[in-house]
Chains A and B, each alone.
Chain A
Amino acid sequence: MIEKKFESAVQAVSDMQDGATLLVGGFGGSGLPSHLVAALAEQGAKDLTVVSNNIGAVSDGVAALISNNQVSKIICSFPVGPHADDLVERLQKGTIELEIVPQGTLAERIRAGGAGIPAFYTPTGAHTELGEGKETREFNGRLHLLEQAIVGDYAFIKASKADRWGNLVYRKTMRNFNPVMATAAKITIAEVNEIVKIGEIDPEEIVTPSVFVQRLVQVEAHEEGKVLVHE
């Protein structure tokens, strides 16, 4: 019988290795799998490459992993926010690498990774410093950049409801990067508020089909995970 549910976020992330690439869903605090992030801070895997849209928006997101010295590279579109100080300090010390990616290119690189497309051309970022050093090609008289797919070893995502197989339903704008990241990792761990029996979710409502989800963790709705920072 298929059983994807883990008893706790700590158990669900326990096998994460140093050097892993991790995709973290959410847009600021909205749709952020904060219990999984908190569990990873406790588990302590280091030298991580983390892909997430926002970095400094909330204290219990990727900013906490940076403060905890677990991250060696960040790929994001929006590194600015009230909790970006530790990132700035580590950038100045040279202990972390930052790759800023336009938000749509970030979403599409992840989508491509999940869909088995290794690279694609986009006009976004052409003639800008974010396009420097990239392969270019003209289509219809317009300059395009070659952008490479992103795949993760793990993805942490958040949804409102799952069934036992890992079919997922989201709530409002919590969806954001979560469904696309779910497709692009070897092990996708979904933090959900409710796990129901097979057949209880209308198939027409399922946004992320079960094939994309390997592990489930159930948490209370609107109760954020708390990160214990080891300093």
Chain B
Amino acid sequence: MSNEQQAMGWTMPELASRVASDLEDGWFVNLGIGLPTLVADYIPEGKEIIFHSENGLLGLGPKPAPGEEDPDLVNAGKEPITLVPGGSYFSQADSFAMIRGGHLDAAILGAFQVSQFGDLASWKLPNATLGRVGGAMDLTVGSKRVFLFMQHTTKKGEAKIVEECSYPLTAKNCVDRIYTNLAVIAVTEDGLVVTELAPNVTFEYVQEHTAAPLKLRLATVRG
């Protein structure tokens, strides 16, 4: 952890477990490259979640044991993975028909910035020569739900949750829920609503590290 704020609240594995508890039995879910892939390791026993990988696979399994890697079996981050029983392979066109056609229950993605309206910026830094759009624009317009999995602020402590995105947009009005080390925040017609606070984190502290107005409406404490 590189600053005081990023050391507060949930650790990333704890946050992954928190996100995993909100995924419903039988959902088809796409996990973005990087942090969101942690979620797959924390699915509660007895719950069946089928993970989609945009390079053409349903039923993403755990990482293979050392020496068991197959160069023909990789995830969207091009890392070796496994396929669970019941999994399937398909082409890129079919993969994005699933995504764009609204067949995935949720996409869990990272973010550079997210606005109070649920606009997302995640593919290009301002003035960068190259952007890395990959499947992000299709996932955000096509998934039934878009959840963000991210640190609440940048490494320098700058707010990532803002009134208006200043970075190039991935999609407008696409984010449903934001999971950060500090809080769970719903994007509603009524603005950003904190529904859960991480242990030892106050609403005032979350607001202080957020550049958009927040409301507090804590959901029932989870059992």
List chain A positions with a Cβ less than 8 A from chain B. Answer: 27-31, 53, 57, 77-80, 84, 87-88, 91-92, 98, 100-105, 107-108, 110-111, 122-130, 160, 170-180, 207, 222
Contacts and interface: CB of A to CB of B under 8 A. Distances in A.
Contacts of B168: 128-129
Interface stretch (B2-10, B15-23, B124-132): B124-132
Nearest to B172: A127
A213 to B, nearest CB: 15
Contacts of B89: 170, 172-173, 175
Contacts of A180: 91-93
Nearest to B81: A173
A28 B78 contact: yes
Contact of A124 (B73, B100, B130): B100
A78 B91 contact: no
A128 B134 contact: no
Chain B contact residues: over half helix, strand or loop, or mixed? loop
B137 interface: yes
B158 to A, nearest CB: 22
B99 A174 contact: no
Nearest to A80: B132
Interface of B: 53-57, 70-74, 76, 78, 83, 89-93, 95-96, 99-100, 124, 129-138, 141-142, 168-172
B130 A178 contact: no
Nearest to A111: B93
A128 B170 contact: yes
A222 B71 CA distance: 8
A124 to B, nearest CB: 5
Nearest to B75: A173
A80 B132 CA distance: 6
A128 B71 contact: no
A108 to B, nearest CB: 6
A108 B93 CA distance: 6
Contact of B133 (A88, A100, A172): A100
Contact of A103 (B57, B133, B141, B169): B133
Given A104-B99, A107-B93, 20 more contacts: A27-B55, A27-B76, A30-B74, A78-B133, A79-B132, A80-B131, A91-B130, A102-B137, A103-B92, A103-B134, A104-B135, A107-B96, A108-B96, A123-B142, A126-B141, A127-B172, A173-B89, A175-B91, A180-B93, A207-B91
The 4 closest A-B pairs by CB, nearest first: A104-B96, A104-B138, A102-B137, A28-B78
Nearest to A101: B133
B74 A28 contact: yes
B132 A78 contact: yes
Contacts of A207: 91
A53 B93 CA distance: 12
A128 B171 contact: yes
Nearest to A55: B130
A53 B133 CA distance: 10
Nearest to A177: B92
Contacts of B132: 78-80
A78 B137 contact: no
Given A127-B171, A176-B55, A102 B135 contact: yes
Contacts of A127: 169, 171-172
25 contacts: A27-B55, A77-B133, A79-B131, A100-B130, A100-B131, A102-B133, A103-B96, A103-B138, A104-B99, A104-B138, A108-B100, A124-B137, A126-B171, A126-B172, A127-B169, A128-B168, A130-B133, A170-B89, A171-B72, A173-B56, A173-B72, A173-B73, A176-B56, A177-B92, A179-B93
B67 to A, nearest CB: 15
Given A88-B130, A124-B141, A128-B170, A107 B73 contact: no
A84 B130 contact: yes
A130 to B, nearest CB: 7
A212 to B, nearest CB: 12
